[in-house]
């Protein structure tokens, strides 16, 4: 069966510090991968998605970047965090680009920038 791992679960970082959140998927190959952010009291915002190694699409301009160095690894990064980067970050995967059968989400990372 497929599983998705996301870490760390919680993170407190000072403004201006770097960020690296990692997500890995097991039990499947060539998944589509996604990073979402959920700010307090708001819905989910798609930040990045990837349909293959090295292929990253950005949905919104921001202080963050994403990379996919391996087929089942997706990394969210920042060189210098802003207070506005605080939120709940969720990684997700789906099978392919065709008819969508839903995403499977990781357990999330609560990021607090202080």
The nearer residue to another protein, 59 or 79, going by C-beta atoms, is 59
The nearer residue to another protein, 54 or 101, going by C-beta atoms, is 101
Supply the minimum distance, in Å, between the C-beta of residue 61 and another protein: 17
Supply the minimum distance, in Å, between the C-beta of residue 36 and another protein: 8
End-to-end distance of the chain based on CA atoms, in angstroms? 38
Return d(Cα 64, Cα 58) in angstroms, integer.
10
Query: How many whole angstroms from its chain centre is CA 67?
Result: 10
Supply the minimum distance, in Å, between the C-beta of residue 43 and another protein: 4
Is the CB of residue 111 less than 8 Å from the CB of residue 90? no
The nearer residue to another protein, 29 or 101, going by C-beta atoms, is 101
């Amino acid at each position: 069966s497929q599983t998705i791992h996301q870490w760390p679960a919680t993170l407190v970082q000072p403004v201006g510090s770097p960020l690296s959140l990692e997500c890995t998927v097991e039990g499947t190959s060539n998944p589509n991968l996604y990073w979402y952010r959920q700010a307090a009291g708001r819905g989910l915002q798609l930040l990045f998605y990837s349909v293959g190694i090295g292929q990253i699409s950005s949905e919104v301009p921001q202080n963050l970047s994403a990379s996919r160095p391996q087929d089942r690894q997706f990394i969210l990064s920042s060189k210098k965090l802003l207070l506005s980067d605080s939120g709940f970050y969720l990684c997700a995967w789906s099978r392919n680009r065709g008819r969508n059968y839903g995403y499977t989400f990781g357990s999330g990372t609560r990021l607090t920038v202080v």
